[in-house]
Amino acid sequence: MPVEHRAVRETIPVPRQDFPVIIRKTLVNRPQMIFGGHFHPQFELLYIKRGKLSLCCNKTDLQLEAGQLAVLNPYDIHTAYSEKGLLYYYCVILDPNFLGGGSGDVCSTRYIQPFAHGDLHFSNVTTATAPCKELFERLVNEYTTGTPGFELAIKADLLQIFLELYRTVPFSKLNAAERQIRQREGKRFQVLFQYLDNHYNQNITLDQMAEIANYSMYYFSRLFHRLTGKKPMEYLRNLRLQKSMELLLSGMSVSETAMHCGFNSPNYFSKIFREEFGQAPSAFLVPPRDR
């Protein structure tokens, strides 16, 4: 399985509907937004192998380091950043229904479905136990090699990981009102995050963001910061800078990249790019012969 050297905004494309599991390794070697604010109905597990990850999940800022595990429950709104240095982690995304059996299966009804429906909620950060570390290595190996029967092996290991989490990680029960608030916030902000991702190069104001999310200006700014760990315009600036990095690496010139990403001045773009990444945009230009 190849290592991802350039993390981008996360989507959840499931290669196989009959095997709704994604396992990947990601290496990040510069400060950047790993993925912007989003949520999904799958579990997502991030096992930090090296470096540090800044995570904002459900209005809480979290810092993870090597040996720790982020447990992102279905519908948790989460944003992640690599602040500095090298970051290397394993990511596992799975449909919780893949772990359960039929409707009458006690393993599904008692243990899996309460988390899938949002009734129960794991704490978002824990230290990976020795059994968990071994299971993650086995998952990556099985997914990489694709040896006959790997689907069975991966499902068995995922069930073991879920059991380890169930027995070692604190979890809480959400009442109906809390679930409704989270679902409402999630839906409103998902619309906004998608809009920003598609229109990041346009002149977007704070008023527009609040209107898209259907909140008052005052409440929107506070809630956005709690959900993402960033102020709205700071988040938009980081998103534009992340997109600019991708364009520079694809061969676009500095001035073209600045304009394409919504920066009216190439000089201003170069200034904040250097502040964010520690190098000038020109350092990331690809020579014509290497494109």
Q: What is the mean pLDDT of the chain?
A: 88
Q: C-alpha angle 256/257/263, rounded to 5°?
A: 100
* Stretch 201-225: mean pLDDT: 93
CATH number for the region 3-174 comes to 2.60.120.10
Of 34-48, 73-87, 134-148, 178-192, minimum mean pLDDT range: 178-192
* Stretch 98-120: mean pLDDT: 86
Share of the chain above pLDDT 90, in %: 61
pLDDT band at 287 (very low <50, low <70, confident <90, very high): low
Domain 177-290 CATH superfamily: Homeodomain-like (1.10.10.60)
Of 141-145, 260-264, 277-281, minimum mean pLDDT range: 277-281
Burial status of residue 229 (CB atoms within 10 A of its CB: 0-12, 13-18, 19 or more): buried
Specify whether the CB–CB gap between 142 and 157 falls below 8 A: yes
> What was the pLDDT predicted at 263?
93
> What was the pLDDT predicted at 9?
34
Specify whether the CB–CB gap between 59 and 227 falls below 8 A: yes
Q: C-alpha angle 152/94/110, rounded to 5°?
A: 85
* Stretch 204-230: mean pLDDT: 91
The pLDDT tens digits of the residues spanning 1-51 come to 544 433 333 445 667 889 999 999 999 888 888 888 888 889 999 999 999
Share of the chain above pLDDT 70, in %: 92
Query: What are the residue boundaries of the structural domains of the chain, listed by start?
Result: 3-174, 177-290
> What was the pLDDT predicted at 121?
93
Closest by CA position to 27, among listed 11, 50, 55? 50
